Structure 1
Amino acid sequence: MTTGPSGGVAASRLAEERKSWRKDHPFGFVAKPEAAADGSTNMFRWKCSIPGKEGTLWEGGLFPLTLDFSADYPAKPPSVYFPRDFYHPNVFTQGHVCLSIINPEKGWRPSITVKQILLGVQALLSEPNIDDLANVCYEVYKKDRKKYDRLVREQTQRYASDKQL
């Protein structure tokens, strides 16, 4: 049984997204609807994990991310967030990701897929957008790069596990 907000178009699109993801997704990524204690599947909340890109400070980490879809999806983008206090210039303290492709006033289009969102977030990790800052860690990124790099490596070590889901 599937649970979540009512919304025929959203539910249909999410079912298509899930089917497409199962057939073809980037290596190391995980994205699946949340399972409830009663065995039902909540198609409107996906638990994901994003691997850090090779050759970056994020390499070796598997970072947990949640996608919350509304009944208005795909007309409206999902809410996308990391755990609270995730260390990145484009992630708010509460964990919400600041990325143009999931911003309804900037780059969101209904044709954007879960796969594109996750790849966009992965790219954002190692390539912060200095024009769309979400928190003060950008000051460290800009003024003390060694400290920023050390803090990112420490965070990557905390997430150096495939047991996030």
Structure 2
Amino acid sequence: MVLGVAKSRLAAERSNWRKDRPFGFVAKPANNPNGEVDLFTWHCKIPGPSGSIWEGGLYPLDLKFTENYPTMPPECYFPQHFYHPNVYPAGKVCLSILDPSKAWKPGLSVKQVLMGVQELLKSPNHGDPAQQQAWEDFDLNPNEYDRKIKAQAQKYQAS
């Protein structure tokens, strides 16, 4: 029964995304090896926020939903070793709206999650560091932080 709720909600999210997606964003469910759509895994791209050191990048992000969605949030993953103070070395995003004990609400949409992750890019959360080197650079060596972010934007340059 719960699986049906999650699938129905994710199908509705997919439909809503097609009608109303923010400019520059990409979000689509993955395909299983047999070609069927996998509503529980979405491949996304988040544009770097305009006017920030992230601008020009189109950053890959995977959303992984469980059968408990929308009661439980999706997990969001950038590629391994993605450089950001609130992204673990394995790529998992640390963000309050993705934490059921903090700010997750079942009414949050895929669009709101992706826009929240985009905001996190330019505005790291000082209270939730997840990656030592990025955190130290952000806090103690802002010029080095900016240099590394600009290099990352080049790596993930929007085409």
SS in 2 for 1:120: helix
User: How many pairs were matched up?
Assistant: 157
Provide the rounded CA distance (Å) in 1 between the counterparts of 2:139 and 2:63.
29
Determine which of 99, 120, 142 is the counterpart of 1:145: 142
Alignment of 1:33-44 (within 5 A): 33-44=29-40
**Runs of 5+ consecutive residues of structure 1 not aligned to the other structure:** 1-5
Deviations 1:57-103 (A, max 9, x none): 10000000000000000000011110000000000000000000010
Provide the rounded CA distance (Å) in 2 between the counterparts of 1:42 and 1:12.
13
**Runs of 5+ consecutive residues of structure 2 not aligned to the other structure:** none
**Bigger mean CA offset, 83-92 vs 28-37:** 28-37
Could you tell me which residue of structure 1 aligns to residue 157 of structure 2?
160
Alignment of 1:54-133 (within 5 A): 54-133=50-129
Determine which of 126, 131, 134 is the counterpart of 2:130: 134
Q: TM-score, normalised by structure 1?
A: 0.93
SS in 1 for 2:30: strand
Detail structure 1 runs of 4+ shifted over 3 Å in the superposition.
none
SS in 2 for 1:141: helix
Determine which of 12, 15, 34 is the counterpart of 1:16: 12
Provide the rounded CA distance (Å) in 1 between the counterparts of 2:45 and 2:154.
15
Provide the rounded CA distance (Å) in 2 between the counterparts of 1:135 and 1:154.
18
Q: TM-score, normalised by structure 2?
A: 0.96
